[in-house]
């Protein structure tokens, strides 16, 4: 009788360890959903190599399959901490979503070779540098800086007086453009 209870206790503890091992997040990884360029969505865990190599290392939820995804393989990436979209191989953190998406560049894939079999293909990436701010709307990416701000205001914000006034009042502080985009997006929902 005693040996049966020991065997049962071992089986229960083994089962508990197995279940824990399958649901535990691996060290240096975060839970994420990747939306691939082919339209599929996959859930699992990623190791963030976005700034270093414009890529993420993905492990599926079972912990058995591991694969590196380049920015050019991905349409979007969602973690608990942030949402990203990928444009021409570069990752952008989506700071505000709506009719206008306010983005911050997180990687630079310019001159990074991708391979079609053994033949290298060089992706041009997007203009600007890591940390720059952008607006993405209707499949068009617009870099925001002091030179492009007036053009952006005149092209995209003219229908919303409050957004135009706020944009002119920020004195070139591009990080504050997030507030302008949020005002405009709220206006377009009315």
Contact 64, 71 (CB under 8 A): no
> What is the pLDDT at residue 171?
86
Mean pLDDT of 126-134: 94
Please name the residue ranges forming H helices in the chain: 2-23, 50-53, 149-152, 161-169, 177-189
Close Cβ partners of 108 (under 8 Å, ≥ 6 residues apart): 54, 90, 125, 129, 130
Whole-number Å distance between alpha carbons of 144 and 64:
42
> What is the pLDDT at residue 67?
95
Q: Is 125 within the bounds of a domain? A: yes
Residue 12 vs residue 128, higher pLDDT:
128
Q: Is 118 within the bounds of a domain? A: yes
Residue 177 vs residue 63, higher pLDDT:
177
> What is the pLDDT at residue 112?
67
Mean pLDDT of 63-84: 93
Q: pTM to 2 decimals?
A: 0.82
> What is the pLDDT at residue 111?
67
Q: Is 49 within the bounds of a domain? A: yes
Mean pLDDT of the chain: 86
Contact 146, 136 (CB under 8 A): no
User: How far from the centroid of its chain's Cα atoms is residue 27's Cα?
Assistant: 20
Whole-number Å distance between alpha carbons of 179 and 170:
10
Mean pLDDT of 165-175: 93
Whole-number Å distance between alpha carbons of 63 and 58:
10
Q: Is 4 within the bounds of a domain? A: no
How many other C-beta atoms can be found within 10 angstroms of the C-beta atom of residue 42? 15
113 pLDDT tier (thresholds 50, 70, 90): low
Q: Is 11 within the bounds of a domain? A: no
Q: Is the pLDDT of residue 94 over 50?
A: yes
Number of domains, the chain: 1
Q: Give the structural domain span for 171.
A: 28-189
Q: Choose the most confident range, by mean pLDDT, from 18-22, 125-129, 156-160.
A: 156-160
Q: Is 115 within the bounds of a domain? A: yes
Q: Is 2 within the bounds of a domain? A: no
Q: Is the pLDDT of residue 97 over 80?
A: yes
């Amino acid at each position: 009788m005693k040996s049966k209870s020991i065997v049962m206790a071992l089986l229960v503890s083994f089962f508990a360890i197995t279940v824990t091992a399958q649901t535990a997040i691996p060290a240096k990884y975060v839970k994420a959903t990747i939306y691939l360029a082919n339209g599929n969505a996959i859930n699992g865990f990623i190791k963030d190599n976005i700034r270093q190599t414009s890529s993420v290392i993905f492990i599926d939820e079972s912990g058995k399959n591991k694969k590196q995804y380049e920015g050019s393989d991905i349409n979007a990436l969602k973690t608990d901490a942030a949402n990203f979209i990928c444009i021409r191989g570069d990752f952008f953190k989506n700071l505000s979503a709506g009719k206008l998406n306010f983005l911050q560049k997180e990687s630079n894939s310019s001159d990074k070779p991708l391979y079609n079999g053994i033949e290298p293909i060089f992706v041009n990436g997007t203009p600007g540098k890591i940390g720059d701010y952008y607006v993405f709307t209707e499949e068009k990416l617009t870099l925001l800086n002091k030179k492009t701000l007036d053009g952006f205001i005149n092209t995209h914000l003219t229908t919303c007086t409050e957004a135009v006034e706020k944009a002119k009042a920020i004195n070139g502080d591009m990080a504050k453009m997030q507030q302008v985009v949020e005002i405009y997006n709220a206006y377009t929902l009315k």
